[in-house]
Each structure stands twice: as C-alpha cells, then as structure tokens.
A and B are shown apart, each in its own frame.
Chain A
Amino acid sequence: GQNIDQPTEMTATEGAIVQINCTYQTSGFNGLFWYQQHAGEAPTFLSYNVLDGLEEKGRFSSFLSRSKGYSYLLLKELQMKDSASYLCAVNAGNNRKLIWGLGTSLAVNP
C-alpha cells in the first residue's frame, strides 16, 4: 500500500531550528512536496524535491533520500508565525495524484 509517516506534534522555541521528518512507502515516486497549513486555512506550497539532496529556500530547507524513502523539512530562526501544520505529500506517479501525510503540528513557543 501507499503510506506516509510524519510525527503528529512537535514543539520548539522561537529562534531555534527544528527538523520535521517524513518517511514514505509508495508504489512509485515522482517527487515529494512540503506544504504549510495554518489552522482553518488552505495549505500553501513550501518546497518540492525530486532528486536526492538538499534544497534551500530562505529559512526553510528540504532534504530527500529516495533510497531511504525519507525527507525532512528544516526550519531555521523559528518565528511565532511558523506555528502551523506541515504536510508531507508524495506524487506516486499514479494519475499524478498526491499521497498525503497527516501532517505535523508545530508549536513555536516564546
């Protein structure tokens, strides 16, 4: 079957660094996405990885290892507004549908 695992909840302190992990088992792979979703709002696109390695975008970076079925999202210099749910999603190549994780709820404390 298709499965994506990520921690349910994490907490961190303002100004710190946090790493949110995602592991996946899918029948195919055409790329991995990270989305940010504030409570009651729409998910917004953060990053996309299709090749192994690290992609950096300002305070956010995303890493992929296809052989391990593993990705992480790294958030640096945390701000209160980073408190949100972070969703990992994989395009498994089946009708271009995304397989979604349940999300990691991140709480940033002062």
Chain B
Amino acid sequence: EAQVTQNPRYLITVTGKKLTVTCSQNMNHEYMSWYRQDPGLGLRQIYYSMNVEVTDKGDVPEGYKVSRKEKRNFPLILESPSPNQTSLYFCASSLDRNSANYYGYTFGSGTRLTVV
C-alpha cells in the first residue's frame, strides 16, 4: 500500500531532550516536507526537500533540523525541544516539483508532540 509512515503517533517529552520524528514513504517520491499544525494558525511548513541531499527552510524552521540521505526517509530532529514546539506534526510527500501540482500531497498520519 502506497503510504507515508510517521513515528511515533504520540510523544510526550521534557524540555531539552533531543528527539527525532521519523518519516518514510514507499512511493519513490522526490519531494518531502514537514508541517506543524496549531489551532488558529493552520498548517505551517517547517522544512522541505526536493530530492536526496537537497533540503531548504520553510516558514518556521527555527528549532528544527532535517536530513535527506535516502529518497524514502526524511526525519525531523528537535535538538533541544521547548514547550512552544508542542504541536501536531505532519510529514508529506509528492512525486516531484511539477507533479505536486496535479496529484497533491500524501500526508503521514501525524505525530502529536507535547513538550513539558
């Protein structure tokens, strides 16, 4: 089944403890992206990647890191999480820069992160 897999679904952590949220897609998609979703603020892009070893900042990159060493994986790293990073996080993928327009994005099931 074609899908984007995120783990974990739920995570409660303490301020300053490094964590990684994994994202993997089995559709050979080139484009991958991370979003956070907060009430009243909607979906905001954190980082995106056009292809392997090509990443760039989105609208709210502060406090986050990403890497794209393989086409299928795009982990989101919080080196020192803070309470303002408590949010619902989504990973999304699409075939490439042009196909993203037509086929849309496929989203992972989400990770609800709480930083205390």
Contacts and interface: CB of A to CB of B under 8 A. Distances in A.
A44 interface: yes
B74 interface: no
B93 to A, nearest CB: 12
A50 B103 CA distance: 12
Contacts of A45: 103-106
A43 B107 contact: yes
Interface residues of A, number: 22
B56 A95 contact: yes
B100 interface: yes
Contact of A100 (B43, B100, B102, B108): B43
Given A30-B101, A33-B104, A50-B101, A95 B109 contact: no
B91 to A, nearest CB: 9
Interface of B: 31, 40-45, 48, 56, 58, 88, 90, 97, 100-110, 112
Interface of A: 30-31, 33, 35, 40-45, 48, 50, 87, 91, 95-98, 100-103
27 contacts: A31-B101, A40-B88, A40-B110, A41-B109, A42-B90, A42-B108, A42-B110, A43-B43, A44-B107, A45-B103, A48-B103, A50-B101, A50-B102, A87-B42, A91-B100, A91-B101, A95-B56, A96-B31, A96-B97, A96-B100, A97-B45, A97-B58, A100-B44, A102-B40, A102-B41, A102-B42, A103-B42
